Structure 1
Amino acid sequence: MEPPRGVLSSIWNFICFLPYFIGLLLLGTIKGIIFCPLICLTMTFGNLAIILGLWPVHCVWTYYSIFCSKQLGPILKLVLFVCMPIPLIIWPVVGIVGSIVGGAAFGFLSPIYATFDAVGEGKSNEFFHCFYDGTWSTIKGSFTTIRDFADVCFHSYFSYMADLRQESPDGKYHEIRLLHIPGAVIAGVLCFLVDMPMISLIALYKSPYMLFKGWHRLFHDLIGREGPFLETICVPFAGLAIILWPLAVAGAVLGSIASSIFLGAYAGVVVYQESSFWMGLRYIVASISIYDEYSNDILDMREGSCFPRLQYSTKNDDVEPNPPHEASFSAPTPSHETSFSKRSSFSKNPPTRATSFKNAILELTPLELLDGLFNECQHQGERLVYEGLITSQDIEDAKSGKGTGVLTIGLPAYCLLQSLLNSVKANSVGILLNDGKTELTSTNRPKDTVFDWFLNPLLIIKDQIKAENLTVAEEDYLGKLVLLSGNPDRLKNAYIGSPPESERKRAELDALARRLRGITRSASRYPTFRRRFDALARMLSEDLAKKNVRSDSVNGSQKVERSKSAFIVRIFSQKSFKNGKSNRRSDVESQQDMRDVEIES
């Protein structure tokens, strides 16, 4: 919809909408108050049972994996043996507290968001959905969260431990330098003692500016119907942001205080990496400047910092120090531009805030991409089951969790490979998804750092596949190699096509298959993957059962037809070559023979 023109029209539109918004907010709040205790208790006791039930297993298996690890040196193993009780003791406490806070937040906020979403554009029977949405869906969401948490604590944990026990590809192991541990610990403690109060003071000093600037921007957009208030579906959420903005500011201050712990502890890493306690002391001063510059950038304040930015790393040429005599609130010169400073062109030409969602670039979410991956896994899995590359044993092993990876890792990796091959053939800049229409690029990718860990390696693999210039036979060979590499016996016995004649190309294809399976194995450890995979395994099992039933019925009908044909041929042969002997048989006897054959079939 077009935003209203004129100040009076905007104010009148706001006044008319205000009671409607307040009514939805009150209704959602009432539902949130009702469901908050129930959801909080459900998630707390569910996660508590998982944490306490698996805690003895986690303790024993963690020590066993560290002891058997081929990637850790003897001194590092000894240090881990001594320090490991601390995280193992803290883990139940953190898990229980997080379950209580997360359960309360989810139980209260989910009904509110569902109430506002029920009156969005294109929704039918809005009155019913205002009361119903956010009730049963919140309860199901809590059980889904518990299921995903259980999968992470069980399947993902044992997968990480299995990788820890394996030997690294280069045959080397990690070791620790004991001489630098005391200095690193002292530097980390000193940096924490300095950063905690200083960062807290900086955050509290800038919080009023963040509060009033956020309100100014939101009210300006509300009156002018710009920014988040441009589209009708976003107006309730943007209005809720005005009310809850002080909570967001308080959360930002608490987050800054919490970040000082990790920012201070990094001084120990600097001392260990640089083998210099002096560099750790320089980092203590530079860390305050880093936070100050970063907060100025977030709040759109003047660039620079009053604190000096000392150089604390000899291996990083990008870190430029700010001399003490140049420390001021003025923006740094181009020669001393920091990593957190913004481009001058961006500040001179800021993007417009009135961009409509109808004309915006479609941004994909990780859940949408995961849904697309599993839809393609179902499509490709049905085809591979029909071709016999995926057997019933593969499905049963995957269900029991003891499979060799043909279905758990091989099938998703195979689907990723098909997507990369389609992207190469379409000469796509990014990755062409399996629907053939959507292209995943750096513009519409999910704004998530974790997602970059998977997207960037896939883009590199796509470029490598493009450089290989594979033939159709080589593409088929690579696909089956990706699918069956987890089971050497299947890979040896199954016909996967003729490998390339060049040993160099065979090695390159093997490396591509290992990397794709490695990326898929890492993705399989994240929440929701195991739950969706179990549903996929059930579907493929049902499809395989239907295929076997159809095959048995077809084979049975073919056997009956062959028996009938053989009987008819025998009768006519007797009539042709026995000169009348077959004519002595009566029609009744012939019909009886026919019935006997049908019964036998």
Structure 2
Amino acid sequence: MEPPRGVLSSVWNFIRFLPYFIGLLLLGTIKGIIFCPMVCLIMTLGNSAALLGLWPVHCVWTYYSVFRSKQLGPVLKLALFICIPIPLVLWPVLGIVGSMVGGAAYGFLSPIFATFDAIGTGKSDELIHCLYDGTWSTVKGCFTIIRDFSDVCFHSYFSYMDELQGESPNRKYEIRLLHLPGAVIAGVLGFLIDMPTISLIALYKSPYMLFKGWNRLLHDLIGREGPFLETICVPFAGLAIILWPLAVVGAVLGSMVSSIFLGAYAGIIVYQESSFWMGLQYIVASVSIYDEYSNDVLDMKEGSCFPRPRYRKNDGDAPTPSREGSFSKHGSFSKKPPVRAPSFKNVFLELNPLEFLDGLFEECQCHGEKLVSEGLITPQDIEDAKSSKSSRVISIGLPAYCFLRSLLHSIKANSAGILLGEGDTEVISTNKPVDTLFIWILNPLLIIKEQIKAMNLTVAEEDYFCKLVLLSDDNTDRLKHSFMGTLPEPEIKRAELSALARRLRGIVRSASRFPTFKRRYDALVRILSEELAKKKGGTDSANGCKPLPRSKSALIVRIFSQKSFKKEKSNDGSGVESQQIMRDVEIE
């Protein structure tokens, strides 16, 4: 349904909406006040117990890992031994304070969001949902956060330390003492020059930011567009109008603080480029970088009046492409105004990198059940996954196997990017999410895809490659027994496939350290264990993959990804699947 376009109808619609908005806001606030202390207490106690319980182990193991590391030189190790106590002392303090603040914010805001989200989603008994939503779900979400935080403190931490201790022939870090004095001087000069200069630029542009922000927010308020389009966003968007001057002050103060680090980065440039002159050029260029970035954010004239000299020897330091203006109706690249402002709910979920793991583990479940039935994943793998050994075949090999299958499917379909799921979603370089996690994962995958495409693999070579990715960390005898065909020739091709397999597994190994991965991994192991029990009992699942437990937001992400990323198709019943997914949302 499109928002009303007439001025009178827009004003009347807004006035008619006010009682509902005030009622929902009061109800959500009451629930937030009730659950905020309890959730804050639970999250603080849970996270503090995990943090303080593992803190002595973290202290000892961090020093031990640095001492045993073969990637660090002796001078760097000595410097780390001196500096490590500072983060080790700050870690429990910041962790406990952050748990208190985060628990209070989550306990208060989650019921409010859930109350507004209870209407407008096609639910029956909206009154009951308004009263109930955000109560027990907030408490369960609190325990989920504690679980994920504990997994990060234990599994992710030891994974990083194991990597630090391991050998890495391509990485050797050491402090070059000869360049330290120049780096320190350049860092101090950058701070002294950039901080006042950037602060003056921020103060100069602050009135423009104030009035343009008010103009955009008031325009969206009257027309129920932009942040006012979704019911769940109205209270916060309305509050933004009142508190917008504080946001401007915060932006100016943030610019002043960030200028310290932006200027001090000149010391890193001097150290990396081994040139004091490059550091001085960066000090001048950093002012231009900030000025151009702020112009893009405020939708001002592109470019900067300040010079921007090159401060890198190898690359040209091309000007940063303009970004979509925060206050403009359309960005610098697109000159066509959108028909309807995007949903806040969908945009928020698109930028949440953790939801990406839901789709990955769905693929792992489907492929895992097939591999269990074929015998490639053995009962011993599942038993190791349940124990502290953590089978690499399931934790690393299976997700990497799913990535490889998606790449091979994309190559056969002649896709310019990567086809996800059954091929109805295509991610390419121009529409991929801009979150850092996606950049770390998708950019290397796009490169690996082109390398695989250039190799022109046969069916037998693809089979060997898939099993190599799945079992390469296991013993070589198992890989030979599982592959019955002839090995790829020549030997250099096998070496290239082995290198690509290591890269795919390395991507998964990095992703396995993110929050929620361990929880989803445990759910996957339970489902594969059930599949193995069915296989032993002689029963076979006729309904395909049993869905992994996943959040409601993950289902909405799937709908949004289909709307945003898939190619234009004819109306041949494509809306049926989205309707079915929405029914699944209601059931959950």
Shorter-chain TM-score range:
0.7 to 0.9
What residue in structure 2 maps to residue 150 of structure 1? 150
Question: Mapping of 1:509-528 within 5 angstroms?
Answer: 509-528=497-516
Task: Return the alpha-carbon distance in structure 2 between the equivalents of residues 199 and 492 of structure 1.
Answer: 59
Task: Return the alpha-carbon distance in structure 1 between the equivalents of residues 147 and 276 of structure 2.
Answer: 46
Q: Percent identity?
A: 72
How far did 1:210 drift? 2.4
Give the 3 Å change call, closer, same or farther, for CA 254–399 of structure 1 in structure 2.
Answer: farther
Task: Return the alpha-carbon distance in structure 2 between the equivalents of residues 173 and 496 of structure 1.
Answer: 37
What residue in structure 1 maps to residue 273 of structure 2? 274
What residue in structure 1 maps to residue 557 of structure 2? none
What residue in structure 2 maps to residue 8 of structure 1? 8
Question: Mapping of 1:184-199 within 5 angstroms?
Answer: 184-196=183-195, 198-199=197-198
Task: Return the alpha-carbon distance in structure 2 between the equivalents of residues 247 and 382 of structure 1.
Answer: 54
How far did 1:342 drift? 6.7
Could you list the runs of 5+ residues in structure 2 that have no partner in the other structure?
A: 540-588
Which of residues 536, 550, 553 is equivalent to 1:548?
536
Question: Mapping of 1:446-595 within 5 angstroms?
Answer: 446-489=433-476, 491-492=478-479, 494-498=481-485, 499-550=487-538
What residue in structure 1 maps to residue 52 of structure 2? 52
CA contact (8 A) 2:384 2:390 kept: yes
Task: Return the alpha-carbon distance in structure 1 between the equivalents of residues 26 and 314 of structure 2.
Answer: 57
Task: Return the alpha-carbon distance in structure 2 between the equivalents of residues 274 and 425 of structure 1.
Answer: 43
What residue in structure 1 maps to residue 320 of structure 2? 339
Give the SS at the match of 2:424: coil
What residue in structure 1 maps to residue 369 of structure 2? 382
Task: Return the alpha-carbon distance in structure 2 between the equivalents of residues 463 and 546 of structure 1.
Answer: 39
Could you list the runs of 5+ residues in structure 1 that have no partner in the other structure?
A: 320-337, 552-601
CA contact (8 A) 1:199 1:260 kept: yes
CA contact (8 A) 2:292 2:302 kept: yes
CA contact (8 A) 1:40 1:104 kept: yes
Paired amino acid for 2:33: I
Matched, 1:262 2:261: yes
Moved more, 442-451 or 538-547: 442-451
Give the 3 Å change call, closer, same or farther, for CA 351–441 of structure 1 in structure 2.
Answer: same
CA contact (8 A) 1:476 1:497 kept: no
Work out which structure has the larger RCO, using CA pairs closer than 8 Å and 6 or more positions apart in sequence.
2
Which of residues 394, 406, 426 is equivalent to 2:381?
394
How far did 1:419 drift? 1.2
CA contact (8 A) 2:472 2:479 kept: no
Give the 3 Å change call, closer, same or farther, for CA 173–367 of structure 1 in structure 2.
Answer: closer
CA contact (8 A) 2:468 2:479 kept: no
How far did 1:453 drift? 1.0
CA contact (8 A) 1:204 1:253 kept: yes
Matched, 1:288 2:287: yes
Task: Return the alpha-carbon distance in structure 2 between the equivalents of residues 349 and 496 of structure 1.
Answer: 51
Residues paired across the two proteins, number: 531
Give the 3 Å change call, closer, same or farther, for CA 416–243 of structure 1 in structure 2.
Answer: farther
What residue in structure 2 maps to residue 568 of structure 1? none
What residue in structure 2 maps to residue 317 of structure 1? 316
- For residues 136-175 of structure 1, the C-alpha deviation after alignment (integer angstroms, 9 at most, x for no partner) is 11111111111111111111111111111222244x5222
CA contact (8 A) 1:404 1:487 kept: no
Give the SS at the match of 2:2: coil
How far did 1:497 drift? 3.0
Paired amino acid for 1:517: R
Give the SS at the match of 1:494: helix
Paired amino acid for 2:12: W
How far did 1:277 drift? 3.9
CA contact (8 A) 2:28 2:113 kept: yes
How far did 1:194 drift? 4.8
Give the 3 Å change call, closer, same or farther, for CA 83–48 of structure 1 in structure 2.
Answer: same
Paired amino acid for 2:218: F
Moved more, 235-244 or 156-165: 235-244
Matched, 1:352 2:337: yes
Task: Return the alpha-carbon distance in structure 2 between the equivalents of residues 246 and 131 of structure 1.
Answer: 34
- For residues 321-360 of structure 1, the C-alpha deviation after alignment (integer angstroms, 9 at most, x for no partner) is xxxxxxxxxxxxxxxxx436579997596341443659xx
Give the 3 Å change call, closer, same or farther, for CA 547–62 of structure 1 in structure 2.
Answer: same
TM-score by length of 1: 0.81
Give the 3 Å change call, closer, same or farther, for CA 313–414 of structure 1 in structure 2.
Answer: closer
TM-score by length of 2: 0.82
Paired amino acid for 2:474: N
Moved more, 28-37 or 256-265: 256-265
How far did 1:229 drift? 4.1
Which of residues 439, 445, 459 is equivalent to 2:432?
445
Question: Mapping of 1:101-116 within 5 angstroms?
Answer: 101-116=101-116
- For residues 4-24 of structure 1, the C-alpha deviation after alignment (integer angstroms, 9 at most, x for no partner) is 242111111111112211221
Give the 3 Å change call, closer, same or farther, for CA 368–294 of structure 1 in structure 2.
Answer: same
Give the SS at the match of 2:81: helix
